Structure formats: C-alpha cells, structure tokens
Amino acid sequence: MGIRVPLLALLAAGLALAALTGCGNSVPKGAVAKVGDTAISKPMFDHWLAAAARQQASGQPGQPPGQTVVPDPPNFTNCIAAKERLPVPKGAARPSATQLRAQCKQQYTGLRDQTMQFLISAQWLTQEAKAKGVTATDAQVRRAFEQQKKQAFPKQKDYLKFLRTSGRTEADLLYQVKLSVLTNELQAKIVQNKGTVSNAAISDYYNKNKSRFAQPESRDLEVVLTKKVDDANKAVAELKKGTAFKDVVKKYSVDSASKSQGGKLPGVTRGTQEKAFDTAIFSAKKGQLQGPVKTQFGYYVFEVTKITTATQQSLAQATDTIRNLLKSQSQQTALNNFVKDFQKRYRDKTVCAKGFTTSQCSNGPNPQSSTQGAQGTSGPSGAPPTRGGTTPATPQGAPGGVPGTPQGAPGSVPPSGGAAPQGGAPPGAGGAAPQGGAPPGATPGGP
C-alpha cells in the first residue's frame, strides 16, 4: 500500500542493501552474502558491524560508545592500538600485542556472526513475507516506531543522544521495526484458520484427561511433630487440657516449617505425606485430636480442622479451557511445521562470501540440529500465538534454526540511556508471539 520506508531511507543514508541480481550461487563482488537473487552489500555489513561494536562497548567501563574502535581484520591494527591505550588494573601485567590481537580477533568473530545473522535473518523474513503477500505499510511502521520511541525516550534530547552515540540512524530503527511488524503479520497468516476445534475433539480430550479437571479432597491440619514419644504424649496431654495448639507447637514441635505457622498445615492431599501419617490423616474425623502416630520422621500429634471435598469439573465446565488448549496446540503445530520447511528452503538458497560464513549459509558449517532450531524459534508447545500489544521475544541465535536476534543485539528502539534490551524488538510493534520465542523468520533485532 505505502512506500517501503525503511529500504528507501537506508538507501538515502548511503547504506545500500545491494539489489544486485544474477544467476548462479556465487556472491557478487562487494557483497558478503546472497539470499536468492538479493545480495547483502559489504557497506551495509560494515554499518551494522559498527553499530554492534558500539552496543557492545556501551556495556563496558572505560569505553564511551562514541569512541568505539571497530575490530579491523586481518591485522587489527586500530583495535590493538585502542586496547593498548586502555588502563591496566593495578598489579596486572600489560597484555602483549599478540594477546591483544587474539582479543580483537575473538571480538570481531563474535560481532561478525551477530551481524551476519541479523542481515541474513532480515532477508529471509523479507523474502518470505513478500512470497506470502504479507506487507508492513509505512503507516504501520511509523505508528509502532513512535509508540516505542515514546516509551524508550520520554525526552527528545535522549533520543538524539542515542542516535549520536549508537552508530545507528532513525532509518535503521524504522527498518528494525518494519521487520518486527512483518514477523507478526507473517505469524498471523501462518496460524490463520488453524484454531478451529470440534466438539468431538473437546469431548475426546476430556474423557482421556478427566483427572486434569478434578480437584482431590484436601484437609487442613494443626500438627505437632516430636522426636520422642514421651514428648508427643505430653503434647497430647496439654492439648486435652485446653492449651492453645500454637503454644504446644512452640514448646514441643521439631518441624520448623509447620512450627513457623503455629502448627498449621493447610491443603494436605492424599499421598503427599509419609504413609503412616497419610493414612491417619484421611482416616481421622474433623475436630478430633489424633496421635501419637509413629513415622520415620518422629511422632505426629494432629487435628483435622477443615475438610474440602473432592470436585470434578463437568465437560461443559471444562470446554472453554480445552478449546483454548487444543487451539494453541494446533497453531503451534502449524508454526513448527512451517519453521522446519522455512529453515531448509532459505538456508539452501543462502550463500556467503569467504570469511563471512555462518550456519545460516549453505556453504557454512552445518547447523547443530534443525529440530532444535525449530523448537528454539517457535517457543514451547501449547503457547497460543495471538495478536496483541507486544513483539515476540527472539531466541539468542539458535544454531540451525531460523536465526533470531544476535546475542547482545538491541531491539527496535533501545531504552533511554543507550543500552538496548536483549532478545528482539521491544513491545509495541504488532501482535504477540507464542510464549518463549518468535515465529519463523524471527524478528531480527539488529546488531
């Protein structure tokens, strides 16, 4: 419907997402990867790498984000020089150039992988959304962005300060918000019409799981536990004389848990206590002093103060609960099935340049487990994908799965103060995801 604001803005900012097209599986010159016919340019990689480096530096003392030096392979000259200028803790030896180079290389590798994960994730998501006719209009993106910005930066000066120090532009943030909107819209389309549950399915589930809708009988007690039978008999005698239970407990009981509650032990259900004590509890009448009862823990003296009878929900009473559960499971299955196919399709058509390969690249290391990735991305089974006011939390780069937000990556609009939240875009960019993870395509939060 509207113009594609994030892409146009990125182009205007000189951060071209290379629209290079061509045949074959080779990565075009000047690009770091290609997904299908779309190449990801080296300038765009450099931009997001710098942003990731600044984000990382913002959490480290003594390194103001505005003065961050991005690791510069292969020699890491600037990175080593910057580290040499850092103060050394008192009593610690100053690292050698070789040690500093190893540190720079390790830092670069982590930032490179985070950045590649984000950029490839963005392409996977964008291309899949286009293929399925899912769009994020400029109005949707701007509205979500303004909501998040207002929450994160009550004062405009704080927002402008963030832009100056983070290495990111407003266009970058809009791009990230667009990705989160697309994620939610794509997820909604995947689970569409997957929530119909028949009465027969509800009845079948109820009949197979009746115990889940039952509440067993429970009993409230007042109890004294002693180590010696003589002390138990003394406790019985005092209670029969009318001494308050809490006073007898204070004097004789060796059970710290019930003692701290004045001897009260509420909500005891059958089978939860030591066998002899359990039998005595559920054989006793309300209001009658019982004991001593010998057990492996000592001698119990007790009185049942309340009996709550067992209950069983009827099918009619349980119907709404079961319908929601089965609907959630159906939608989650749809997401999981989609993820499995999605991962394979896009990894197969993703190729990366030498020095930029990750497990998302067809020419990169094999993912640890596609099944693990799917589960990590989709969240736990049974969590209903609904649409509401939050953006899905994103897993921290599950290997082999649909790549999520790189570890340590900010969300769409960071909170005031500079550091962005871990794990995906913050609330406000669309519908809610299943608990514990993002839908396929995982909202790339950006490095």
Give 41's strand partners: 31
Task: Write down the pLDDT at residue 447.
Answer: 59
**Confidence class of residue 258 from pLDDT cuts 50, 70 and 90?**
confident
pLDDT, mean of residues 340-361: 94
Q: In this model, does residue 338 exceed pLDDT 60?
A: yes
**pLDDT tens for residues 135-193?**
999 999 999 999 999 999 999 999 999 988 887 899 999 999 999 999 999 999 999 88
Contacts of 64 (CB under 8 A, 6+ apart): 57, 165
Q: What is the DSSP letter of 27?
A: P
Task: Write down the pLDDT at residue 276.
Answer: 94
Q: How many CB atoms lie within 10 A of CB 43?
A: 16
Strand ranges for 212-371 from DSSP E: 214-215, 218-226, 264-269, 289-295, 298-308, 311-312, 350-352
pLDDT, mean of residues 321-343: 93
Task: Write down the pLDDT at residue 129.
Answer: 95
pLDDT, mean of residues 384-399: 29
pLDDT, mean of residues 185-204: 91
Structure tokens at 372: 């693990």
Task: Write down the pLDDT at residue 369.
Answer: 45
CA–CA dist 354, 403 (Å, integer): 20
pLDDT, mean of residues 9-35: 59
Contacts of 283 (CB under 8 A, 6+ apart): none
Task: Write down the pLDDT at residue 165.
Answer: 84
SS3 234: helix
Q: Is the pTM of this model over 0.85?
A: no
- Are 117 and 406 in contact by the 8 Å Cβ rule? The answer is yes
**Confidence class of residue 434 from pLDDT cuts 50, 70 and 90?**
very low
Q: What is the DSSP letter of 70?
A: -
pLDDT, mean of residues 438-444: 36
Chain mean pLDDT for the chain: 79
